[in-house]
Structure 1
Amino acid sequence: MRQSPPVFVATSAYGADLVRRLGQAEVLPWIAAAGADGIEIRRELFTDDAPPLAALREAIAAHGLATVYSVPLELWREDGRLADAALRRALREAALLGAGVLKVSLGHYAAGVALDALGAVLADTPVRLLVENDQTVQGGTVAPLAAFFAAAAAAGVAVGMTFDLGNWRWTDSDAGEAARVLGEHVAYVHCKRVLRDGGRLKAVPPEGAMPDWAECFGHFRAGLPRAIEFPLAGEALDALTAVHVARLRRL
């Protein structure tokens, strides 16, 4: 019998203003009531530079949810050096939060750069590192990501990929081709549809996107965790979330 894949909900799906005002713990009941398996906590939505991570960890555990921690961190700085201090801090916060996964961006990685320093940092933590295709040329196009994951595999550095289905639009990249090239490295999938509105790109719910998403999932390992990262807005947010959780399980 096929096991249902885990579905997470990024707190940002409820809107940055609302989540900053309420606090990320306050959306936990909606996510749990929707039947989701986990929550993605966003570092940028904390209003305090020293957030109460231990208390949030306890609240998440009380709702029976797993945790992914997302931090807006580029692994490689513009000077080409690993952002090791920032990465160590993010990993410590992830551990305090009880997150099994930390999600970051690639940054300014250059093909051929040794990954010894990254491997040393990751050797000291139980948290798994995932690198997402972001909305930048340096971290959201196929070539640098493919070079990085190939180098990591060759060096024995255990790093996986967060494949964001919508972010490819910001870099004029083809999501299907990216899935074909990078699919073997994917461990977690961000689900959002992106449309152009008045000259700007914006994330929207997935109506009409499911066939394209299914094509991408055909290049991934079966049963990967996937996350709602598109806007959830309305009166009954737990019920709305439940509709989309069920939809993503069927991918």
Structure 2
Amino acid sequence: MKPDVVVTTSAFGADAVRARGQENFLPLIAGAGASTVEIRDELFDDMRPELSALGNSIAAQGLECVYSVPIELWSQGEHQPTRELQPAMVRAARLGAHTLKISLGHFTPYCDMEALGHMLDASSVRLLIENDQTPQGGRLKALQTFFDVVQRMKLPIGMTFDVGNWHWQNEQPETAAQLLGCYVEYIHCKAVRERNGRLHAMPPEAEDLKRWARLFTHFKTGLPRAIEFPLQGDVVRETQRHVEALGRLGTTQQEMHHA
């Protein structure tokens, strides 16, 4: 069985997506062979659309849905989960998303994990925490500490492992994969290049795919993986090409392809 390949709507460029609407990219994503779309809350233009209608459009294309919201689970100086979490989970359910993806934020030993557990028990949406590009949410030690508590308390929380974001905090993706791989349920894929002193997300080259394949050995087999890099040029063809390439990662097909 082929692993699920996800396309994030942000891959088509923020300006284009805000102008045209995320719904307009669904046929392209489905036509490229992806199984899932990641809807980005920050790309709704001014006002969110009727989410149940968007969810119906996603289902009509035969796609599943991940909902990404740019919020932090723990606000600085606060011990309770962010007040934005519950509304985001309600929106995810309305959208028909099986997963809500957010960032860790400012986790400390004083954060009320029991309160978080009660909130999650009331929802069917799976919460995934992603390593982001910030000092508080993108460093290995903080994420390790958080997921150790999650495991000890048996909370229904998994990890989105972004292979590229580690570079913003000078962390090694290989080390992170070794230490956090058992928590990973979803993988964001993007190559990273430095240009004019700044890091940028880029499409992968052959060497990137080989490095990612090594990371995948630390994860459960067949996890969903997402295109989160710019799709440029012939967008239809490029989307299809990258969907196929990511679909081979961590499989015997991928090993044969590079033999």
**TM score, norm. by length of structure 1:** 0.96
Aligned with 1:33 (options 6, 31, 35):
31
Determine if the alignment matches structure 1 residue 63 to structure 2 residue 56: no
CA contact (8 A) 2:184 2:219 kept: yes
Determine if the alignment matches structure 1 residue 239 to structure 2 residue 214: no
Matches within 5 A, 1:97-112: 97-111=95-109
- Residue by residue over 1:11-62, the C-alpha shift from the partner in whole angstroms, topping out at 9 and shown as x without a partner, is 0000000000000000011101101000000000001334221111011011
Poorly superposed stretches of 4+, deviation over 3 Å? 111-114
- Residue by residue over 1:80-103, the C-alpha shift from the partner in whole angstroms, topping out at 9 and shown as x without a partner, is 333442000100010010000000
**Cα distance in 2 between the residues matched to 1:10 and 1:53:** 17
CA contact (8 A) 2:80 2:112 kept: no
**Cα distance in 2 between the residues matched to 1:35 and 1:230:** 17
**Cα distance in 2 between the residues matched to 1:82 and 1:47:** 30
Aligned to 1:161: 159
Aligned to 1:224: 223
CA contact (8 A) 1:168 1:174 kept: yes
CA contact (8 A) 2:80 2:111 kept: no
Unaligned runs of 5+ in 2: 250-259
- Residue by residue over 1:195-237, the C-alpha shift from the partner in whole angstroms, topping out at 9 and shown as x without a partner, is 10011110000013011111110100000000000100123x2
**TM score, norm. by length of structure 2:** 0.93
Percent identical pairs in the alignment equals 50
How far has the Cα of 1:171 moved from its partner? Answer: 0.4
- Residue identity opposite 2:214 in structure 1: E
CA contact (8 A) 2:79 2:111 kept: no
Unaligned runs of 5+ in 1: none
SS at match of 1:195: strand
How far has the Cα of 1:112 moved from its partner? Answer: 5.5
Determine if the alignment matches structure 1 residue 178 to structure 2 residue 176: yes
Determine if the alignment matches structure 1 residue 17 to structure 2 residue 15: yes
How far has the Cα of 1:156 moved from its partner? Answer: 1.8
CA contact (8 A) 2:72 2:82 kept: no
How far has the Cα of 1:114 moved from its partner? Answer: 3.8
- Residue identity opposite 1:213 in structure 2: W
SS at match of 1:85: coil
- Residue identity opposite 1:57 in structure 2: G
**Cα distance in 1 between the residues matched to 2:212 and 2:48:** 37
Aligned to 1:117: 115
Matches within 5 A, 1:186-205: 186-205=184-203
- Residue by residue over 1:48-81, the C-alpha shift from the partner in whole angstroms, topping out at 9 and shown as x without a partner, is 3342211110110110000000000100001133
CA contact (8 A) 1:84 1:118 kept: no
- Residue by residue over 1:106-128, the C-alpha shift from the partner in whole angstroms, topping out at 9 and shown as x without a partner, is 00001353410100110110000
**Cα distance in 2 between the residues matched to 1:112 and 1:85:** 17
How far has the Cα of 1:176 moved from its partner? Answer: 0.3
CA contact (8 A) 2:81 2:112 kept: no
- Residue by residue over 1:137-179, the C-alpha shift from the partner in whole angstroms, topping out at 9 and shown as x without a partner, is 1110111101111101111211000000000010000000000
- More off after superposition, 65-74 vs 109-118: 109-118
